[in-house]
Chain A
Amino acid sequence: MASIRELHQQLVSKARSARELTQETLQRIDATEPKLRSFLHLTADSAIARAEAVDAKIASGEDIGILEGIPIAIKDNMCTRGVPTTCASKILENYIPPYDATVVEKLSAAGAVSVGKTNLDEFAMGSSTENSAYQVTGNPWDTDRVPGGSSGGSAAAVAAGQCVVATGSDTGGSIRQPASFCGVVGLKPTYGLVSRYGLVAYASSLDQIGPFARTVEDAAIFLEALAGYDSKDSTSLKGDVPNYAAALESETIANLHGDKLKIGVIQETFGEGLDAEVDGAVKAALKVYEELGAEVEMVSCPTFRYGLPTYYVIAPSEASANLARYDGVRYGARAEAAENLIGMYAETRARGFGAEVKRRIAIGTYALSSGYYDAYYLKAQKVRTLICQDFKNAFAQYDVLVSPTSPTTAFKAGEKTDDPLSMYLSDLMTIPVNLAGLPSLSLPCGFDRQGLPIGLQIIGNVLQETKLLQVAQRYEQASEWHTKAPSL
């Protein structure tokens, strides 16, 4: 499967037209979608029209941008004007936003060709995409298995060549864990690097949009298009967006300690619950880094284990407020038969939300209730501060931190749906990163005996996406995992 740069060359040299590229992509979707079910809505007509516009530009001799004519997909929790945006929820069935999310606007402006909206866990709550109210997405490496979640549709689509790159959103691991499960690169940027305007909120202080790609370079190019200050998002960070892809051309990495890259391996992520094959693959990857000249050491982040309980107070608390607006009054589904207002609210929400969403709304409502606030929400915020402090200490010594992305490889569909706690555990290693607002990516570092991809998580300090991508690419260039594609 070709990279963005290769496809761009083909378009510029007229070896291939954007229309051809889009049509081939749509054909690939047609052929694979019955098995994968990655997409909730396809936008074939508008994709062809956009591709034709790019072709017209090339024909007239104009220069085109790096993403122009490149087929992409959008996670269905990002608003697209005139195109359904359901968040994989019944409560937003047939909901069509009147505006574009900032990232959607930016990608349109960059000339990217969106082929459709991808499946997810309802309102991005889940780790397997099984919480979608509409369909279960298959993992391209074994369609009986889950693609991870919540951005499972995007991860599967990129892995299976249904698009070149796709957007995901990551609140507790929703980009990195499915990237790991599907054998692709997934990056969660620093909180505030990418605008959240138009991203349907799950947990506002944790949500962040980022790229899925098949290579580190593609991720860098796509991230550059997504990132940047947005006056519509008060939590958006000011400052210029670095040229991430250009930085990958550079021979040197700006290390903390002279010429040696110092990698800290988070001790707490190895141990009970970690699959032996995942453990082996990650340790082998660390060997590769050592061979490349990096200094690799174990580092303890003692508060790491408090990440999960902290997250499951803060995220549901914010979610309970964020999801209060789905009440049937102004938009979305409404239960019509109710006798009165309270009945209408109750019935609309009872029918419109799935079990996991209801569970988190209930947890959050409880945690914020008078008399419980201090014990839960306030305490969780304090722990969050401690987790940030732990990372800060670690980054005083190390350039990057690494861990497995997920304790296991992709599990079977239905395996964990009745056991929410076990499902929650698959985000154990990614969650603390969101609590600290740090950038982090997952890239393929091997396969288990069943042929399922294993992911390596690399965590960077605030706004160090460049270093993160550089470090990841060093490994990618020394390995061949990214060249493998699922057979389907």
Chain B
Amino acid sequence: MTAAAPTKTPHETQYEAVIGLETHCQLSTNTKIFSNSSTEFGATPNTNIDPICMGLPGVLPVLNQKVLEYAVKLGLALNCQIAPYSKFDRKQYFYPDLPKNYQISQFDLPIAEHGWLEIELIDDDGNPQRKRIGVTRAHMEEDAGKLVHAGSDRLAGSTHSLVDYNRAGVPLLEIVSEPDIRSGREAAEYGQEIRRIVRYLGVCDGNMQEGSMRCDVNISIRPVGQEKFGTKVEIKNMNSFSAIARAIDYEIERQTQAIETGSETIVQETRLWDENLQCTKSMRSKEGSSDYRYFPEPDLTPLEVPAEQVQGWKAELPELPREKRHRYQEELGLSAYDTRVLTEDVDVTAYFDAALTAGADVKQAANWVMGDLTAYAKEQKLSFADLALTPETLAELIGLIADGTISGKIAKEVLPELLEKGGSAKELVESKGLIQISDEGELEAIIDKLLADNPDKVEQYRAGKTKLQGFFVGQVMKATSGRADPKLTNKLLVPKLKG
């Protein structure tokens, strides 16, 4: 890979980037937005289709009520105002992947507006840096089909094109941010926060590789202190959050150099991120932007979502990532880093919370979840929701260590079996005879015998070779198959050694 990015040079003027994101989230309903075909990804081309999504003569759209529910819930999670009166519009343009040659979308009255989300970056000292990014609007629309160019992997050079309409009519929510983002890192974090939110809500799987979440970036730069925006460039084709960050950083540098050196003029255009060459490339000029001839969709009645319905859906919202982060840090005392790890995955955070509810110690639970459990889940390619070891059992295991029933070492020993088979931690250690020996009399008898059997070592110890304490502890552990309470063992052993 060649890094074609312009190398950074110090600039005299300080510039800042003004960045806004348009994020398309595919809502994870079973059926399409206006018809009953399946939305399943990866099916044989043109099998998940029906007269409606194919735009056959005479068909009419009927809104999938699940789409409305998901859109409102996502709008609420983005702190938006839900429009009491909203409508659909037709966005008109001809393209073979668009069956009706218009897309049913929302133009001037979107379902949700005026929201925000909070991003949290961790600075070099490990402290959380929080920032609110405005959400201009979120609107529902239908996806188009997919063109496959044959004879070449690009449109240019292809001999013919095939169309797969499986995706036509899949429900999307387009989320438009305010131009509040200032860096690639912030943009990537904004995208990740949306992904967390949609996954917490269960309204979108957030999979960027399969295209169920797509981010387009609008970016311009201006001298720090200037009010007016510079010329805006749109960047598409990033299929990971790190690609978003890299594309933006590249573009900031390209635009800064263009202005500083006058090497090129920044024009309003769409650029594509080239993952191989790590640079953006001009795709098409946006000057004289397309006229989509929007008008209200006459086949759908305006949407009036009753306030009680909105309240009902609001009541169903889970604790959201931002709320969780604040609680973990401010109430549970977890570090920003641990919080980030624990809140990234909705199943992990649910698991962690359930363990706490079952009485587990916060720090212990965090360590087990982030450590052994995550390692196991990763290795087995399991979701935390599918672990045989329940959060209650984890809490039980942690409790057994805390009350001295077993040692941490024993806990680690029984963990693989618990992870694999589940069941009660206590029953397992009992059945295996692994319960710690904390009986003073029993331990004393063992120690006394040991000292009697090794008079030479005792003598050496008393002559100053105190390192031999380790030998005796080891022998106690050996005699008890590791079940001796290590603290108590030391407490009883030392006075006897010293005589």
Question: Which positions in A face B, CB cutoff 8 Å?
Answer: 77-79, 85, 87, 92, 95, 97-99, 101, 196-201, 203-205, 231-235, 317-318, 320-321, 324-327, 329-331, 341, 345, 365, 368-370, 373, 377
Contacts and interface: CB of A to CB of B under 8 A. Distances in A.
Nearest to A381: B296
Contacts of B294: 368
A365 B293 contact: yes
A204 B297 CA distance: 9
A317 B295 contact: yes
Given A327-B94, A329-B96, A370-B293, A234 B56 contact: no
9 contacts: A79-B57, A92-B57, A97-B56, A198-B59, A203-B298, A234-B301, A321-B102, A330-B99, A331-B56
A135 to B, nearest CB: 20
Nearest to A378: B295
Given A235-B299, A341-B96, A196 B51 contact: no
A204 B92 CA distance: 16
B316 interface: no
Interface string B13-57: 000000000000000000000000000000000000001001111
A234 B33 CA distance: 13
A482 B298 CA distance: 37
B58 interface: yes
B57 A204 contact: no
Contacts of A370: 291, 293
Interface string B92-123: 10101001111000000000000000000000
A97 B51 CA distance: 9
Given A204-B298, A321-B295, A324-B102, A95 B54 contact: no
Given A99-B51, A329-B163, 19 more contacts: A97-B57, A98-B51, A99-B56, A196-B60, A197-B59, A201-B58, A234-B60, A234-B300, A235-B299, A318-B295, A320-B293, A325-B55, A330-B56, A331-B56, A345-B94, A368-B294, A368-B295, A373-B293, A373-B295
A200 B100 CA distance: 13
Nearest to B299: A204
A345 B96 CA distance: 10
B388 interface: no
Interface residues of B, number: 28
A377 B90 CA distance: 14
The binding surface of chain A is classed by DSSP as: loop
Contacts of B92: 320-321, 324, 368
Given A87-B57, A97-B56, A197-B59, A321 B301 contact: no
A458 to B, nearest CB: 27
Contacts of B163: 329
A95 B57 contact: yes
A321 B62 CA distance: 18
Contacts of B58: 77-79, 85, 97, 101, 197-201
B447 to A, nearest CB: 82
A297 B57 CA distance: 44
B57 A231 contact: no
Contacts of A203: 298
The binding surface of chain B is classed by DSSP as: loop
B486 interface: no
A469 B56 CA distance: 35
A369 B293 contact: yes
Contact of A377 (B56, B94, B295, B301): B295
B357 to A, nearest CB: 43
Contacts of B299: 201, 204, 234-235
Nearest to A203: B298
A85 B59 CA distance: 13
Enumerate the 6 nearest inter-chain pairs by beta-carbon distance, A residue then B residue, closest first. A324-B101, A204-B298, A205-B298, A368-B293, A198-B58, A200-B57
A324 B100 contact: yes
B55 A234 contact: no
Contacts of B422: none
Contacts, number: 98
B56 A98 contact: yes
Among A200, A321, A326, chain B packs the most CB atoms within 10 A around the CB of A321
A318 B298 contact: yes
Contacts of A231: 62
A205 B61 CA distance: 14
Contacts of B54: 330
Contacts of B99: 325, 330
B63 interface: yes
Contacts of B90: 321
Contact of A232 (B60, B100, B291, B300): B60
B165 to A, nearest CB: 8
A338 to B, nearest CB: 13
A78 B59 CA distance: 11
A235 B302 CA distance: 10
A196 B298 CA distance: 12
A89 to B, nearest CB: 10
A196 B58 CA distance: 8
Contact of B63 (A234, A320, A341): A234
B101 A325 contact: yes
B359 to A, nearest CB: 50
Contacts of B100: 321, 324-325
Contacts of A204: 298-299
B155 to A, nearest CB: 10
B57 A324 contact: no
Contacts of B55: 325, 330
Nearest to B293: A368
Nearest to B52: A232
A9 to B, nearest CB: 36
A324 B301 contact: no
Contacts of A373: 293, 295
B301 to A, nearest CB: 6
B101 A233 contact: no
B466 to A, nearest CB: 86
Contacts of B102: 321, 324
Contact of B61 (A95, A198, A234, A321): A234
A332 to B, nearest CB: 8
Contacts of A205: 298
Interface string B258-283: 00000000000000000000000000
A317 B62 CA distance: 21
Contact of B60 (A233, A320, A329): A233
B295 A235 contact: no
Interface string B72-103: 00000000000000000010101010011110
A85 B298 contact: no
B8 to A, nearest CB: 41
B383 to A, nearest CB: 37
Contacts of A199: 58
Among A79, A320, A329, A331, chain B packs the most CB atoms within 10 A around the CB of A329
A297 to B, nearest CB: 35
Among B90, B102, B295, B301, chain A packs the most CB atoms within 10 A around the CB of B295
A45 to B, nearest CB: 24
A204 B57 CA distance: 12
B101 A197 contact: no
Interface in B207-224: none
B157 to A, nearest CB: 14
A325 B293 contact: no
A99 B301 CA distance: 24
Contacts of A330: 54-56, 99
A234 B94 contact: no
A317 B298 CA distance: 11
A318 B295 CA distance: 9
Nearest to A86: B57
B113 to A, nearest CB: 21
A121 B386 CA distance: 62
Contacts of A377: 295
A433 B54 CA distance: 33
Contacts of B62: 231-234
Contacts of B94: 324, 327, 345
A325 B60 contact: no
Interface in B392-440: none
